[in-house]
C-alpha cells in the first residue's frame, strides 16, 4: 500500500520546519507502515491541483495537512473536490459546532470567515476536531487510472500540530493499522549525562550484532534533542512473540551497557520520571533559580499533578532578591560573587527553609550572551543542593547559546534529583 | 524562475525533521526567491528517477540534498545521470582529496566505500566540500520539454547540514542571486488579543486593494502560532524605492486598522517588546505564578539583559506557599478559593511588597487536564495586577490543552503589561 503526504502552506517553502511531516512519518513507522513521499506545496491552487492529481494516480492513501483554516489562502477542501469532480456543501452540524466554539469564548456569532470551515466534500466523513474549528475529513473514492478504477482514501487534516495529531491518532492511525501487514515495534531509551558519540561507541557492538543476526528486521537510530540522547530501535517480523522478545532482549543489553545514564523509555521525560520518583517516595522539592529564570519550575509543573510533590520556587535574578527572598548573606555575594558554589548553597538552604520541602535545588550561572569574564566564562553554572542533612554544590561548564546553557542547567538539576531519588 | 528542492533519505519519511529544507527555503526567501515545492523521497531508485523527471520538466533549477554518501543506499549521482542519459566518471582530484581527508585523520587508505564519492556526472562542476568527503555538483544542461529544449541547472548537495550549508552559501546562493530579478522584501506584524479570522476580517480590504493594485507583486499570509497571530506580507519589484514605499505604506495601513493589537514586527516577541518598554520607562516587574508554574518568569528572562527590569518571581503552587511566601490571607483562600480574583489580587500585592518592583502580576488558574469543576472549569484563569496605586484582577476562559492554557496565560500577562506601558 502506497501512502503519501502533501503538506500545504507557503510558510513551509520559506523556512518553516515541517514538524507535521516528521510526526506522521514517525507514527506510521511505529505501526510498520512508511510514507512513500512527502511534498510541501504553497497555497496556490494550480500547484496543489497538480499534486493531488499525481497523488491520486500513484498512491492508495493520500494524507494532507494544512489549508483548512478560515482564510482565503486555505484552499485544500475546494481543490481536492475540484480534482475529484465532487461538490462541496456546508455541513450544518459542523457549522453548529463552530458557533458553539465561539460561544464558549463569549463570542455570540462566529466570524463570517469561519463558516467556510464547515465546507465538506460530498461523501466525506467529518473527523471531529475538539481543539479547533476546522474538522478533518475522510473520503473513500474510486479514481480512474488508465482503464481501471482503483479504490483510494483521502484524509484532510488541519495544519496546527495539536489539532492534526489528535485527529490523526483518533481516526487515521486506527484505519491504517488494519492495513499494516506484519508487526513492527519501536522502543526509545532516553539517556542523559553522556555525549551522542559516547553513546554510539558504547552500543556499537550491540547494534552490529543485532543487525547482523536479523539483517533488515532491526533498525537503530541515535538522536540528540537538546542535551537528551535518544536511542531508538525498531524490530519487525510476522511473529509478535519473537518481535517482543527481540525488543526486550535489546533493551536488556542496552541497559547493561548504558546503565543509570538511561533515565527512561518511550514517553518518559526527565520531569515525568522525577515526578514519579518524588511521588512514590512521598518527597517534595523546591527550587531557587537565577539564570534558569523559572524554566526549572516550568519544567516540573509541565506534568499534571505536580502540585503533589512540587512545593514552590523563587526566581531571584538580582543580588537584592537573593538576599531578601532567599536569605543569602551579603558577605557571601561580596566575597564569592552571585555565580559561586557558596551562593548556590545558600540559595538552596534559603528556599528549603522557606518552603519546608524535603529537597531543594538552586541554579546560578552565566547564560550569556554577555556577562562572561575570564574567571567566570559564559556557560559557568553552579547548582546547589540541600536535603536538611547535607548541603552541596556542583560546578558545570556548559557549551552553546543562552538557550542551550539554560536547557542544560534545567536537565542537569532534574537528572541530579533523579539519581539521588533512585539511590534512596 | 521555478526552483524546486528534492530531499532524499528514508529517514525523512519515518520521523526525521527536514531542517535542510527549512534552511534552504529561508535563505532563498531572503534573496527574494521562493521554492515552488519540496519533495522528500526515500533511497529508492525508481521513486527518485520519477522525481527527477518531473522536476526537470517543470522547474528551471533543481536542488537535491542527500544521497551522496559512501554507502549502497546513496544513489543520487547515478540516478540523476541516468535520468539525463549522461555518464559518470571517477574524478582524480576528488579522489585525491578524499584520500587526504582520511590521511589527516590518521587513516592511510580511504575506505573502499568512499571511492564512490568521487563519482561525478560528466559536464558537472565539482563544488568543494571542506567539511566532509562528498563534494557537491553543479550541472547546466538542456532538457527536452515537448518540442523545445530548455536550459536547466541541477545542484547536488550532501545531506549533513553543516556540509550542505557551506556549499549552499559558497556556490548556490551567489549563482541564484544573479537570477533574482529585482527585489523582494518581507515584513511581519505580530498581533495579540484578536482571533486569526478577526484579523483577516479587519485587513481584508487592505489585502484586496493591495493585491488588486499590484497584482502578483504583493503577497499576504496570516498565521497563528499559539495565541500570537502573524500577518506576513511581501512586496517585489525592480525599484527598491518603490518596494520600500509599498512596504511602509502597507505597514501604516495595517497599523491603522489593527491598532494596538499589533505588539511588534519582524523579530519582536511579546517578551522582547515588554522588556524594551520596561527598560525605556525605567520600570521593574515581578510575578507571582501558580498555574503557569514559572513559565512567565522563564519567558521574560529569555531575553538577555532582563535582569535590568525583572526583579523576581515566586512560583507558589500550593495554598500553603501562597500564604507563607505571598502573604495571601487564609480567609481569602477559604472564602473565594485559590482560583479567584481575590486571591489573584493578594498574590500580586504580596509579590509587589516582597520585591519592591513597580509592577506586579499574578496568575492563578486551572490548567487541566484535571481539577475542573462546573463553577471553575479547566481554562479558567485569573490574572492579578498591582502598581502601588491600584490593584485589579482579570478573568479569562482559555481553551485547549494544559500547554495551551499555560501559553495563553503567559502571553496575556505580557500583553496586559505591554498595553499598560504603552499607555504611560
Place of cell 565539482: B126
pLDDT at B169: 94
Q: Is the pLDDT of residue B215 over 60?
A: no
The shortest C-alpha distance from B248 to chain A (Å) reads 22
Residues of A in contact with B306 (CB under 8 A): 293, 317
Residues of A in contact with B18 (CB under 8 A): 17-18, 21-22, 38
Q: Is the pLDDT of residue A119 over 90?
A: yes
Is B114 within 8 Å of B132 (Cβ atoms)? no
Average pLDDT over residues A88-92: 95
pLDDT at B157: 97
| Start and end residues for every CATH 3.90.950.20 domain found in chain A | 270-422
- Whether residue B201 and residue A111 make contact (CB cut-off 8 A), yes or no, is yes
How many angstroms separate the CA atoms of B145 and A43, rounded?
26
Q: Are strands B148-157 and B61-65 parallel, antiparallel or unpaired?
A: parallel
Q: In a mutagenesis test of the B interface, which of A4, A11, A298 is the best target, namely the one with the most B β-carbons within 10 Å?
A: A298
Give the one of A22, A70, A294 whose C-beta lies nearest to B298's C-beta.
A294
- Whether residue A310 and residue B295 make contact (CB cut-off 8 A), yes or no, is no
Residues of B in contact with A23 (CB under 8 A): 15
Model pLDDT for residues B165-194, shown as the tens digit of each residue: 999 999 999 999 887 767 788 899 999 999
Give the one of B10, B42, B293 whose C-beta lies nearest to A297's C-beta.
B293
Q: Which of A30-39, A161-170, A211-220, B370-379 has the highest mean pLDDT?
A: A161-170
Average pLDDT over residues A42-48: 93
Residues of B in contact with A226 (CB under 8 A): none
Model pLDDT for residues A400-409, shown as the tens digit of each residue: 789 889 999 9
Q: In a mutagenesis test of the B interface, which of A2, A13, A107, A338 is the best target, namely the one with the most B β-carbons within 10 Å?
A: A13
pLDDT at B388: 86
Q: Is the pLDDT of residue A260 over 90?
A: yes
Model pLDDT for residues B223-252, shown as the tens digit of each residue: 888 899 999 898 888 888 888 999 999 999
Q: Is the pLDDT of residue A333 over 70?
A: yes
ipTM of the complex: 0.76
- Whether residue B314 and residue A314 make contact (CB cut-off 8 A), yes or no, is yes
Question: A320 is written with which cell numbers?
Answer: 537584592
Which fold does the domain A183-265 belong to in CATH? Alpha-Beta Plaits (3.30.70)
- What does pLDDT average to over chain B? 91
Q: Give the chain A residue whose CA is nearest to the CA of B288.
A: A314
Nearest alpha-carbon partner for A348 in A381, A304, A305, A388: A388
Average pLDDT over residues A24-28: 92
Average pLDDT over residues B267-287: 96
Average pLDDT over residues A187-216: 83
Q: Give the chain A residue whose CA is nearest to the CA of B285.
A: A317
The shortest C-alpha distance from A142 to chain B (Å) reads 24
Size of interface A-B (CB pairs under 8 A): 247
Residues of A in contact with B380 (CB under 8 A): none
B147 or A408, higher pLDDT? A408
Average pLDDT over residues B271-289: 97
For chain A, give the longest Cα–Cα distance: 88
Which fold does the domain A3-177 belong to in CATH? Molybdenum Cofactor Biosythetic Enzyme; Chain A (3.40.980)
For chain B, give the longest Cα–Cα distance: 87
pLDDT-based confidence at residue B135 (cuts at 50, 70, 90): very high
pLDDT at B141: 95
Q: Give the residue ranges of DSSP H helices in B68-215.
A: 76-84, 92-104, 161-167, 173-177, 196-214
Least reliable range by pLDDT among A52-56, A82-86, A315-319, B405-409: A315-319
How many angstroms separate the CA atoms of B200 and B258, rounded?
10
| Start and end residues for every CATH 3.30.70.2860 domain found in chain B | 183-265
The shortest C-alpha distance from B361 to chain A (Å) reads 14
CATH of domain A270-422: 3.90.950.20
Q: In a mutagenesis test of the A interface, which of B312, B366, B402 is the best target, namely the one with the most A β-carbons within 10 Å?
A: B312
Helix, strand and coil percent figures for chain B, each rounded to 5: 45, 25, 30
Q: Is the pLDDT of residue A215 over 70?
A: no
Give the one of B317, B397, B403 whose C-beta lies nearest to A311's C-beta.
B317
- Whether residue B316 and residue A316 make contact (CB cut-off 8 A), yes or no, is no
| Start and end residues for every CATH 3.40.980.10 domain found in chain B | 3-177
The shortest C-alpha distance from A251 to chain B (Å) reads 21
Q: In a mutagenesis test of the A interface, which of B180, B211, B317, B410 is the best target, namely the one with the most A β-carbons within 10 Å?
A: B317
Residues of B in contact with A306 (CB under 8 A): 293, 317
- Whether residue A111 and residue B401 make contact (CB cut-off 8 A), yes or no, is no
Nearest alpha-carbon partner for A235 in A218, A213, A222: A218
Average pLDDT over residues B15-34: 88
How many angstroms separate the CA atoms of B351 and B326, rounded?
6
Is A44 within 8 Å of A72 (Cβ atoms)? no
A123 three-state secondary structure: coil
Least reliable range by pLDDT among A301-305, A361-365, B215-219: B215-219
Q: Is the pLDDT of residue B216 over 70?
A: no
In eight-state DSSP terms, residue B317 is: -
Q: Is the pLDDT of residue A106 over 80?
A: no
Amino acid at each position: 500500500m502506497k501512502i503519501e503526504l502533501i503538506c500545504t502552506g507557503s510558510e513551509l517553502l520559506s523556512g518553516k520546519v515541517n514538524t507535521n511531516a516528521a510526526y506522521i512519518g514517525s507514527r506510521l513507522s511505529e505501526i510498520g507502515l512508511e510514507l512513500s513521499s512527502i511534498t510541501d506545496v504553497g497555497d496556490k491552487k494550480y500547484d496543489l491541483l497538480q499534486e493531488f492529481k499525481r497523488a491520486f494516480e500513484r498512491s492508495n492513501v493520500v494524507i494532507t495537512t494544512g489549508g483548512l483554516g478560515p482564510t482565503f489562502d486555505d484552499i485544500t477542501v475546494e481543490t481536492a473536490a475540484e480534482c475529484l469532480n465532487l461538490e462541496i456543501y456546508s455541513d450544518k452540524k459542523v457549522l453548529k459546532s463552530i458557533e458553539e466554539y465561539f460561544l464558549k469564548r463569549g463570542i455570540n456569532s462566529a466570524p463570517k470567515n469561519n463558516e467556510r470551515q464547515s465546507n465538506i466534500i460530498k461523501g466525506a466523513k467529518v473527523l471531529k476536531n475538539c481543539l479547533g474549528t476546522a474538522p478533518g475529513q475522510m473520503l473513500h473514492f474510486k479514481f480512474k487510472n488508465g482503464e481501471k478504477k482503483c479504490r483510494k482514501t483521502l484524509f484532510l487534516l488541519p495544519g496546527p500540530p495539536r489539532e492534526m495529531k489528535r485527529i490523526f491518532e483518533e481516526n487515521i492511525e486506527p484505519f491504517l493499522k488494519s492495513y499494516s501487514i506484519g508487526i513492527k515495534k519501536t522502543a526509545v531509551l532516553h539517556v542523559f549525562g553522556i555525549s551522542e558519540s559516547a553513546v554510539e561507541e558504547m552500543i556499537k557492538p550491540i547494534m552490529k550484532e543485532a543487525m547482523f543476526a536479523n539483517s533488515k528486521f532491526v533498525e537503530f537510530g541515535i538522536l540528540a534533542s537538546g542535551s537528551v540522547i535518544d536511542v531508538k530501535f525498531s524490530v519487525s517480523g510476522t511473529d509478535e512473540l519473537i518481535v517482543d522478545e527481540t525488543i526486550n532482549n535489546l533493551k536488556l543489553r542496552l541497559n547493561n551497557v548504558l546503565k543509570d545514564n538511561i533515565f527512561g523509555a518511550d514517553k518518559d521525560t526527565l520531569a515525568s520520571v522525577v515526578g514519579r520518583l518524588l511521588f512514590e517516595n512521598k518527597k517534595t522539592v523546591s527550587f531557587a533559580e537565577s539564570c534558569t529564570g523559572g524554566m526549572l519550575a516550568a519544567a516540573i509543573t509541565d506534568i499534571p499533578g505536580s502540585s503533589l510533590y512540587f512545593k514552590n520556587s523563587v526566581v531571584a535574578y538580582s543580588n537584592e532578591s537573593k538576599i531578601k527572598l532567599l536569605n543569602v548573606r551579603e558577605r557571601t555575594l561580596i566575597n564569592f560573587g552571585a555565580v559561586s558554589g557558596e551562593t548556590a548553597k545558600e540559595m538552596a538552604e534559603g528556599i528549603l527553609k522557606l518552603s519546608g520541602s524535603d529537597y531543594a535545588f538552586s541554579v546560578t550561572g552565566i547564560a550569556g550572551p554577555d556577562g562572561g569574564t575570564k574567571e567566570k566564562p559564559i556557560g559557568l553554572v553552579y547548582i546547589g543542593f540541600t536535603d536538611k542533612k547535607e548541603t552541596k554544590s556542583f560546578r558545570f561548564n556548559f557549551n552553546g547559546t543562552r538557550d542551550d546553557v539554560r536547557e542544560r542547567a534545567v536537565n542537569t538539576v532534574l537528572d541530579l534529583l533523579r539519581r539521588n531519588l533512585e539511590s534512596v
